[in-house]
Chain A
Amino acid sequence: MLEESREGRGVWNGTGGCLSYNVQIQHNSRLNDVGTNLLMVKNGRIGTASLRDLPFILNKKSTLVLNNAMTLPAMFMGKLAGQKIELRLVSNLNSDFRTFNRWYGILLDGNTDWRTRTEFRTVELNHASSSTIQFSDGCGIKITDQIRKSLWEVTINPSNEHPTALDVIFSHGQFIQYSHLTHELQPWDVQSIVFTIPAALEPPSSHFQLTWQLLSELREKGHNIVYITHGSGVSDLGYPELDHFLPFPELYRVGKDAATMLNESVDTSYQIVAIGTSVTRALEHNFNINQQFNEGIFLATNRLSSKNQAKVVEAMLTGMHLPNTSHYDLMRGFLPDQMVHQSFKYAKANNFRWHEYGDLTLVFNHFKTRKSF
């Protein structure tokens, strides 16, 4: 996917909020320079490996589950009541992946841009309902309702020139950018190699490191590759009153072939390896419905944590997550708290790189035994 080269790495000296960890971050948007170090946590042991070795690391026959969602632009610049704002789509309210008109959104101060962290861009706009962010070519985004403080329901209004909501999203939106990166992400930086359906608001960052070479090697070693579509919402909003609701409910789809392959995997003791936190959430939600995998479109409302541990996913490949984030909490659905903390300390001491385009963690489910179902 990479087209342009950009250099630079840095240290995250995050101040404000809880982010002051001094960890190495990948400070660029180069997809071919993403981290390929793998922090491995298995059977109570923590170690370092390389993603290239994944076909061998998975010494048990595995079914790897990937997310084939394509990332949509989600940031829209405009004016509301004379004030410059950014409207950011944060969660999908449509009932399938063919319609794109209804979303939850948040409003951010438009006088600053993505280079400023979202927590410093919050705005108080209590009377935004019924107003519309109008674009010059006739289309717009209407704020239809206030759901709770700082969270809005919005509807995309197409025009003659852009007759569908998807068209409006692509012609007026920008891809979500990250303040920890020095350069603006380009379209080719935010898509994975396996996307087939426009569905996600943020890219599945655990997929950036995947290559066709690696997927072929995994297949040659006898592992299965399965795709589901998970419409990931936004993982960090900047509004403290909303952040503790994260992750919002997320739409996902399991196709017929995927459901069959997953059920066969359970029956034949293939271990299920979820690529990414979104896939993990969807698989756990789906299996929990009736203790088997089901074809169809669903809304994932679950939240994995130490109290709601992963039951069917045996291993998860994910990014590097900082304490006090929803993704870090999700790790606690796989490992005892103490081990999550130890692995964080290990990664920090060994200069693993954090955030999107950083390194990866492969965590094996400490709690799950086959006997549990």
Chain B
Amino acid sequence: MEFNELDEINKSYGLLDEQNYPKWVREELKNYWQSKHVLITGGSRGLGLFLTKNLLDLGAKVAIVARDPIRLQLVKEQLNSENLLTLNFDIGNKETIHTVASMALSFFEGRVDYLINNASTLGGKELRPLLDTPCEDIEHALNVNVVAPFRLTKLVVPAMLGKGTVVNITSDASVTAYETWGAYSISKAALDHMTRIMAKEFSKFNIEALAFDPGDMRTTLHFNAIPDAEISDLLHPGDVALELIVFLAMEKHDQERYAASCWKKVVKDAVFGTGQVVA
């Protein structure tokens, strides 16, 4: 299934587009995100790409990490912003993760407001029952989806002391046991629990840790998992990105892990329901 995100980012999924959010919300968001420093793993596709595009539009400084250099170059050209740093690394590689952190920290001049651990792998090329899953797929899923966010968080937290937020993108597969999603699900469940422990331990430094399930989206990861998925059943990653940007700006978090329906309802109520002020 072909879904060209790069074509879409400049069409209807820019935040400044009036059809998405009322003007007052956009202004509040600009006030909030202006000059914020955000490090996003996997900003070259899917959810990460739309987060990047919209945060740049709102005046944030964004550093993104991804493996495919050609794709990263395309994103860089298309977004064309001095506030964007693209880093061509595999977050699963412990030899280079310090380089990722130091290039980003230099770009941000030592201050990070948000780390969004978004890049993720299914583990192997295709989904399989656990008994058919090579151990290496489990190891790979744990390395990219849990250990890499852990490493990066350790490296970035010193630049957040006093105020900062670690956002871990999780999945409903972390709580529901779907057959054949073993490697991925196990890693996301571990990510959830790591988030809970981080939230407790980091609170004394005034740093938050939150896990978000974004819901099912029309992205490469989803089509890799379910090649014949029906596109109209899936959320647009641009919509999800906008909602997440609004939710984070509200800074009213009362749990460590948010199911998709839960945090999205908060956003809808705030923006279209009661008219509550966002930021």
Interface residues, chain A, with chain B CB atoms under 8 Å away:
1, 3, 68, 70, 72, 97-98, 166-167, 170, 186-188, 191, 193-198, 216, 219, 229
Q: Is the CB of B109 within 8 A of A197?
A: yes
Additional 6 contacts, C-beta under 8 A, given A70-B102, A188-B98, A193-B158: A97-B109, A196-B159, A197-B106, A197-B109, A197-B110, A216-B204
Query: Given A170-B102, A216-B204: A3 and B109 within 8 A (CB)?
Result: no
By a CB distance below 8 angstroms, the chain A residues around B99 are 170, 187
CA distance A229 to B158 in the complex (A): 13
Q: Are B110 and A68 in contact (CB under 8 A)?
A: yes
Min CB distance A205 to B, Å, is 17
User: What A residues does B109 contact at CB under 8 A?
Assistant: 97-98, 197
Nearest CB of chain A from residue B216's CB, rounded to whole Å? 35
User: Is B94 within 8 A of A196, CB to CB?
Assistant: no
> Which A residues are in CB contact (< 8 Å) with B173?
none
Interface string of B203-235 (1 = CB under 8 A from A): 010000000000000000000000000000000
Are the CB atoms of A166 and B106 closer together than 8 Å?
Answer: yes
Does B244 sit within 8 A of A, measured CB to CB?
no
A195 contacts across to B, CB distance below 8 A: 105, 155, 158
On chain B, which size bracket covers the interface? 10 to 19
Q: A165 → chain B, closest Cβ, in Å?
A: 10
CB pair B94–A198 under 8 Å, yes or no, is: no
Given the interface pairs A3-B94, A68-B158, A193-B158, the reply to whether A198 lies near B204 with Cβ below 8 Å is: no
Contacting pair B95 A198 (CB below 8 A) = no
Closest 9 CB pairs of A and B: A196-B110, A187-B98, A196-B159, A197-B110, A198-B102, A170-B99, A194-B158, A196-B158, A198-B106
- A sample of 15 inter-chain contacts (CB < 8 A) reads A1-B154, A68-B110, A70-B105, A98-B106, A166-B102, A187-B97, A188-B98, A193-B154, A195-B105, A196-B105, A197-B109, A197-B110, A198-B102, A198-B106, A219-B204
Interface centre among B98, B101, B111 (most CB of A within 10 A): B98
Give CA–CA (A186, B94) in the complex, Å: 10
> Shortest Cβ distance from B257 into chain A, in angstroms?
23
In contact, A191 and B110 (Cβ under 8 angstroms): no
Contacts of A68 in B (CB 8 A): 110, 158
Q: By the criterion CB–CB under 8 Å, are A188 and B158 in contact?
A: no
Task: Using A3-B94, A68-B158, A188-B94 as known contacts, say yes or no to A197 and B103 having CB atoms under 8 A apart.
Answer: no
Chain B residues near A98: list those with CB within 8 A.
106, 109
How far, in whole Å, are A193 and B155 apart by their CA atoms in the complex?
8
Whole-angstrom distance between the alpha carbons of A186 and B154 in the complex? 16
In whole angstroms, how far apart are the Cα atoms of A72 and B106 in the complex? 11
Q: Mark B89-115, 1 if CB is under 8 A from A, else 0.
A: 000001111110111011001110000
Question: Quick one: which of B99, B106, B111 has the most chain A CB within 10 A?
Answer: B106
Residues of chain B within 8 A (CB-CB) of A167 are 103
A197's partner among B94, B105, B154 (CB-CB below 8 A) is B105
Q: Kindly state the separation between the CA atoms of A193 and B96 in the bound complex, as whole angstroms.
A: 17
Decide if B159 touches A170 in the complex (CB within 8 Å).
Answer: no
> Which B residue sits closest to A4, measured CB to CB?
B94
Shortest beta-carbon distance from B103 to chain A in Å? 6
Q: Note all chain B residues with C-beta closer than 8 A to A170.
A: 99, 102-103
B164 smallest CB distance to A (angstroms):
11
A residues within 8 A CB of B110? Answer: 68, 196-197, 229
Closest to A188 in B: B98
A70, B102: Cα distance in complex, Å: 7
User: Considering the chains assembled together, what is the distance between the CA atoms of A114 and B97 in angstroms?
Assistant: 24
Q: Chain B residue with minimal CB distance to A220?
A: B204
Query: Given the complex of chains A and B, what is the CA–CA distance between A216 and B97 in angstroms?
Result: 26
* Chain B residues near A72 (CB-CB < 8 A): 102
Q: Mark B193-207, 1 if CB is under 8 A from A, else 0.
A: 000000000001000
B residues within 8 A CB of A188? 94, 98
Assembled-state Cα–Cα distance A3/B97 (Å): 12
Task: Please give the distance in Å from A48's CB to the nearest CB on chain B.
Answer: 30
